[in-house]
Amino acid sequence: MENVKKENFVLYGTFVYSRDKSELISYTDSYLVCTGGCSRGIFRELPEEYRDLPIRDVRGMLTVPGLIDLHIHAPQYQFRGSGMDMELLPWLEKYTFPEEERYKDPEYADKAYSMFAEELKRGATTRACIFATSHRSATLKLMEIMEETGLCTFVGKVNMDRNVPSYYLESTEDSVNETVEWLREAKKAGLSHTFPIITPRFTPSCSRELMLKLASLAEQYAVPVQSHLSENLSEVEWVKELEGDTSCYADSYVKAGIIKKGIPCIMAHCVWSGDEEQEILKDNGVFIAHSPDSNINLSSGAAPVKAYLDKGLNVGLATDVAGGSTTSMISSVRCAIQVSKLRNRLFDGDTPALSFPEAFYIATKGGGAFFGKVGSFDEGYEFDALILDDLSIPTMRADMTPEERLERFIYLGDDRQIRGKYAAGRKIL
Amino acid sequence: MENVKKENFVLYGTFVYSRDKSELISYTDSYLVCTGGCSRGIFRELPEEYRDLPIRDVRGMLTVPGLIDLHIHAPQYQFRGSGMDMELLPWLEKYTFPEEERYKDPEYADKAYSMFAEELKRGATTRACIFATSHRSATLKLMEIMEETGLCTFVGKVNMDRNVPSYYLESTEDSVNETVEWLREAKKAGLSHTFPIITPRFTPSCSRELMLKLASLAEQYAVPVQSHLSENLSEVEWVKELEGDTSCYADSYVKAGIIKKGIPCIMAHCVWSGDEEQEILKDNGVFIAHSPDSNINLSSGAAPVKAYLDKGLNVGLATDVAGGSTTSMISSVRCAIQVSKLRNRLFDGDTPALSFPEAFYIATKGGGAFFGKVGSFDEGYEFDALILDDLSIPTMRADMTPEERLERFIYLGDDRQIRGKYAAGRKIL
């Protein structure tokens, strides 16, 4: 794959990234060095040891870390922007399950997933955690397609053995066996930046027995897990009915071994997580995939993200296509701020809104931490970067700071301004 | 202006528009006739009398009414997407007033307004109600520039004689005299689709004396008025302090003659309008310019738009650049739905969220009514249309209805899909 090999090089230009959770840092007329797929830091003068590296002059552009999409459903890409007047459960029945079932056809899966991957490649996302469908071969196909893009991704074969339409239901045994087979095949596929992730859909569609077995597989194969948690009030109520022995929704995952110390875990949404649930998430280092666009589209609500950050929970950002209509993580950053402002104004004046630097943090370093040292240009971080021609968005202003330029790009920009893109040092665009 | 002349022609293709407030109507393989700048209706077979007209074949595209932006600040275009972590009043001091003051320089105004007009021309907006600055000559320049675009607009010289920084303050006398001179010059300018509108900024920056005189001018010159109302809680409090003899914010406009039967009037925002204020708006036929993107960016809140519609108030949609960050009315439609869902879920379960057809209605026929018969393809309506290549947005789906295609375009589209655009029969794009 000539087009996605790791390169050693230097960028010369203007850089902005998160100094910490609440503050940005910027450099102008500086050198950012990438070797072996990692940042070697930003320098005013290029150190002697890097002077033989090729220099790419990106002055005039704004270079920022790549955006990390912690939760997206690849098969739902095909009907994004449809049925947005519905809430979660009827929307799953009408749009999601019938579409996902189509991926039993390998030819359809190949075409549809290629479309999805092409858009992710062209956009601002450098890494993603992806739900596929329950189909083993289509999921493997998606992994191969994602590998070709050069992006770093986790991809999960979805499991579900109850409460889904019969045409899309697995037996518990089949679900486990297919998962084992998929994990073996994924291992053999020789992929370098596309990894399997155990993916029980959510408690309502997975029996305890199935989840216990999946949790064992996660430990046995040393792979992470991802699922959904406390997204929509009707879903939360349903879980209470289904899981009589649990003290909260998250407890259903704890009892099944899915949320457990030592197993890296992403839970999408956490809109309605109470104190006990938040404790569980914190104690187990669970990553919250905050999905603001999806949460408003499906009338789920608004997660108290600022409170999560202040309490030290792990928070990343996500598009959650197709609950979120767009694959654009640029839109997601903007949406996270807007939703948190409205939550603060109308619902909970005690939890402040996310600031712009905080929203950018969760979209980069916050979610990036799930992948290791990702989301920063500090020395030793994997080199994910976007080179943005933000000044092609018209304005008379000539006095903007790099931080102001980044805010403006987030509010006005889209993939048209992306002039370069790297993931772990691989040139994607 | 060769490029903006009114044409007589027929479009052959697929059409969607609002049947009424809550329902869309669509036609496929049909003929939409435009003569004299107006729609003659949609026909399955082209009537005899129109068979000599040129036919533009737009099958495969989706043709919909143009979008109407009832409230936008042209000078604020230059700093859109900046300072979004601030609320209204400090944001006015830091960004708005210093930028608006620059328009005293005619050369700056010419360049900056041309940039603004170019973006409106390329976008989905066919009509707009625009705030300029307090500068007479720059406001006239903006009117000339808008006329060139072919769009239909109202443009207002802003008035303010108190509570703004001294560098940007007018005396009451100057404010009135300059307005009179501007109205005379605008009349003489020979513009065919660009009209003046009396524009007191808002009660906090206009004395009662000034507003009374402006109201007289509105009647004398038979021009409409536009202003702001009940946007932000701190602003509402301020008006209470300033206007001791009024029963609500709107009453300050009533007492000044600005809100009055027979004077067409737009009030932007109306986020916090109580029952009495709503009665005033209804009794006087005031148009509410709902600005959802702005209302969340500046942490103002969320207007109960669905309740306003149900009560029979006039409601249109607006971007409110630069409180709203983008000139895209496509984004505004989406945002109106999202904000109303969150309002319903977190704040007021009694007021339902806007449905997609309702949001599209306010963006077309709702705001269009301020301009006359605008926002529909029914016979006799002025011909504003967008021809959208919505199917260039990737999907495997081949079974979408025209209504589903429109919803998808609103959630995923931008100006890249606009393949044609007409305002009052003039070809803009």
The confidence score (pLDDT) of residue A7 equals 82
Name residues whose C-beta falls within 8 Å of residue A212's C-beta, 6 or more positions apart in sequence. A256, A257
Per-residue pLDDT reduced to its tens digit, B118-174: 999 999 999 999 999 999 999 999 999 999 999 999 999 999 999 999 999 999 999
Interface contact A395-B115, CB threshold 8 A: yes
Q: Which structure tokens are listed for A116?
A: 């999805």
Residues A325 and A237 in one domain: yes
Residues A35 and A154 in one domain: no
CA distance from start to end of chain A: 14
Nearest-CB residue to B345 (from A301, A344, A411): A301
How far lies A349's CA from each of A72, A345, B86, B273, in Å? Answer: 30, 6, 16, 20
Q: How many domains does chain B have?
A: 2
Residues A59 and A137 in one domain: no
Interface contact A108-B80, CB threshold 8 A: no
Percent of chain B with pLDDT over 90: 96
Residues A358 and A315 in one domain: yes
Strands A426-427 and B9-20: unpaired
Residues B74 and B57 in one domain: no
Residues A222 and A291 in one domain: yes
Hey, which residues 345-374 in chain B have their CB within 8 Å of chain A? 345-347, 353, 355-356
Q: For residue A266, list its beta bridge partners.
A: A226, A287
Per-residue pLDDT reduced to its tens digit, A183-216: 999 999 999 999 999 999 999 999 999 999 999 9
Residues A192 and A98 in one domain: yes
Which one-letter DSSP state was computed for residue B171? P
Chain position carrying tokens 């790549």: A66
The stretches of A123-158 forming alpha helices (DSSP H) are: 136-149
Residues A197 and A54 in one domain: no
Residues A320 and A276 in one domain: yes
pLDDT classification of A89: cutoffs 50, 70, 90: confident
Cα–Cα distance, B290 to B367 (Å, whole number): 10
Residue B2 has pLDDT above 60, yes or no: no
Q: What are phi and psi of B212, to 5 degrees?
A: -60, -45
Q: Pick the residue from chain B with its C-alpha nearest to A347.
A: B346
Chain position carrying tokens 């005013």: A44
Cα–Cα distance, B411 to B332 (Å, whole number): 10
Residues A306 and A411 in one domain: no
Structural domain containing residue B133: 67-371
Does the beta carbon of B401 lie under 8 angstroms from any beta carbon of chain A?
A: no
The confidence score (pLDDT) of residue B3 equals 44
Last residue of a domain, one of B334, B355, B371: B371
Q: How many residues belong to chain B? A: 429
Cα–Cα distance, B348 to B340 (Å, whole number): 10
Contact B235, B88 (CB under 8 A): yes
pTM above 0.95, yes or no: yes
CATH number, domain of A245, equals 3.20.20.140
Per-residue pLDDT reduced to its tens digit, B372-390: 999 999 999 999 999 999 9
Per-residue pLDDT reduced to its tens digit, B204-246: 999 999 999 999 999 999 999 999 999 999 999 999 999 999 9
Residues B123 and B266 in one domain: yes
Which residues of A fall within a CB distance of 8 Å from B94?
Answer: none
Which residues of A fall within a CB distance of 8 Å from B297?
Answer: 338, 341
Residue B289 has pLDDT above 90, yes or no: yes
Chain position carrying tokens 């009398």: B49
Residues A251 and A140 in one domain: yes
Alpha carbon B62 to chain centroid, angstroms: 23
Residue A4 has pLDDT above 90, yes or no: no
The confidence score (pLDDT) of residue A5 equals 61
The confidence score (pLDDT) of residue A1 equals 41
Q: Whose CA is closest to A336, among A298, A396, A289?
A: A289
Contact B134, B165 (CB under 8 A): no
Interface contact A395-B111, CB threshold 8 A: no
Axis-axis angle for helices B208-220, B172-188 (nearest 10) = 20
Contact A318, A70 (CB under 8 A): yes
Nearest-CB residue to B81 (from A84, A297, A407): A407
The confidence score (pLDDT) of residue A58 equals 98
The confidence score (pLDDT) of residue A2 equals 40
CATH number, domain of A43, equals 2.30.40.10
Per-residue pLDDT reduced to its tens digit, B60-109: 999 999 999 999 999 999 999 999 998 888 889 999 999 999 999 999 99
